[in-house]
Structure 1
Amino acid sequence: MIASRFNDAEKQALIDAAAACAMTPSGFLAHAALSAARDLTRTAAQVAGEREVIAELFALRRHLAHVGNNVNQVAKAVNSGADARHAEAVLDAVHRAARRVDAFTEHYLETETRAG
């Protein structure tokens, strides 16, 4: 038996990652650990870089979910004939989210090109 300890943020990150992969946290942890154990040729920098990528992808996913919720609220208001006074702010948030995804993707591709 192997036991692991995580702080609250690490535990939540593990739970979120497992849910995104439709796995249990224990299953996700075992899969990730065994994958790393099978590939000992990777450098610590590569592993750290992947952690950053995964963390940013999950942050982007959460951000897009929040923006999507706001878009749905605006659509509901417009469809019911109500005033959608926050529509412009929501559209600005959509544009900012798209720029964030673009910037992350560009940075990631540049990093991979240099490393590859």
Structure 2
Amino acid sequence: MSNINVVIETPKGSAQKYDFEPGERFFKLKKILPSGMVFPYDFGFIPNTEGEDGDPLDVIVISEFHSLPGIMMKCRVLGGICAEQSDGKGARWFGMTGFWPCPSVRRSLVSFARSGISRKISSRNWRPF
């Protein structure tokens, strides 16, 4: 699969959850996590897409560096899951940036995504690429 553009809403390591407000063209602080908790990965969306909930498709980005809200980065989609959540959002895609200094680390992540994650998530919910 080719690379896609992903806009980061909430960067990994952040204790604040941000949401993009397309009508206002700004990022809005949605909530603050409890003390000591942070987001383990970058969370973002694929621009110019629409999921079942009417919002752009969500992506969890695995990367080696820290990003910022609002940046756009190229990612390779590794797969996706369908999950039930209280907010009604279900589909989550997993992507990986192309900015890995060590090719063997990148190959290991792709291998893990195709085997390790799929063993942890039931096959009916995981769609590898």
TM-score (norm: length of structure 1): 0.35
In proportion to residue count, which structure has more helix? Answer: 1
In proportion to residue count, which structure has more strand? Answer: 2
Which of structures 1 and 2 has the larger relative contact order (alpha carbons within 8 angstroms, sep 6+)? 2
